[in-house]
Amino acid sequence: MKLPLLCLPFAGAGASVFRPWREHEAQTFEVAPIQLPGREELFIEDPYTSLTEAATGTAERILAAAGEGPYALFGHSFGALLAYATTQLLHSKGLRLPERLIVSGAAAPWLPRPHIGVHDLSDDELASRVHQLVGYDHDAFHDPELRELVIPALRADMGINETPSATPGPGNPLPVAISALRGVDDALVSRDATAQWAAATSTGFELIDVPGEHMYFSENWPTLWTTIDELLLRARQEGLMRSQTAS
């Protein structure tokens, strides 16, 4: 039985960024994109404007999508921050946790994050600064009508992302194994900042280098897809070995 991989996108993006994954079959997982309010078919809903609000709403969506069985959770960049905050919330409420948290293109969430003063920028300036920051240029930025649909969610996500963390450290480590993925040429997130995710878990941690820059996610998704398949297969095999040893 394949593990549902619930996926949270980067800032401003919608669930459609994960649709190409559905065209390929993985050994270990099946993709279950989580749509956030304020984008694509949910564009009429107001986007989340705080991490607490986002984690609360995302927790509900995740549990609904996961059904009754086990699941894994993936997030890239802003999505990684949201995945972590949501898992923290689930843990604090004694709700069902993911079997594995896969964070991509993100520093440990208690570290300082890039600040561009999102609330003081015009739409044009915001699109330009995001492109400069992460090297990603959305097609919708060049279409005035589409941009009106994309910018509000991007502005809200970037506003959450650049809000300083309320705590200087990870607090209580999660009882969830964490795999942290980073593009080897990522100029935005250092390897050391990625390695600090190890403090967020009491169960197990691995840092995996992948080819590409910060937005390797959108530039070469098959590599990411294969990497996740391999790490989940390895985790499954290690779990079987532990259970056999215990018995």
pLDDT band at 173 (very low <50, low <70, confident <90, very high): very high
Nearest to 235 by CA among 180, 173, 177, 174: 177
Q: In which domain, by residue range, is 141 found?
A: 3-246
Q: How many domains does the chain have?
A: 1
Taking residues 65-73, what's their average pLDDT? Answer: 93
Nearest to 4 by CA among 91, 98, 103: 98
Q: Which residue has the higher pLDDT, 21 or 71?
A: 71
Per-residue confidence (pLDDT) for residue 138, from 0 to 100: 67
Whether 244 shows a pLDDT value over 50: the answer reads no
pLDDT band at 243 (very low <50, low <70, confident <90, very high): very low
Question: Which stretches of the chain are assigned E, i.e. beta strand?
Answer: 3-8, 29-33, 72-76, 100-104, 177-183, 205-210
Per-residue confidence (pLDDT) for residue 137, from 0 to 100: 64
Q: Which residues are catalytic?
A: 77, 214
Rounded to whole angstroms, the Cα distance separating 171 from 43 reads: 35
Greatest CA separation for the chain: 62
- Any long-range contacts for 61-64 (C-beta under 8 Å, 24+ apart)? 61/34, 61/35, 61/36, 62/6, 62/34, 62/86, 62/90, 63/90, 63/95, 63/96
Whether 17 shows a pLDDT value over 90: the answer reads no
Q: Which residue has the higher pLDDT, 172 or 4?
A: 4
Mean pLDDT of the chain: 87
CB 108 within 8 A of CB 190: no
Q: Which residues pair with 183 in a beta bridge?
A: 210
pLDDT band at 240 (very low <50, low <70, confident <90, very high): low
- CATH (domain of 104): 3.40.50.1820
Nearest to 106 by CA among 9, 167, 188: 188
| 102-144 residue pLDDT tens | 999 999 999 988 777 777 788 878 877 877 777 666 666 667 6
Taking residues 186-208, what's their average pLDDT? Answer: 95
Whether 178 shows a pLDDT value over 80: the answer reads yes
Lowest mean pLDDT among 146-155, 159-168, 203-212: 159-168
Measured at the CA of 82, the angle between CA 109 and CA 60, to 5 degrees, comes to 145
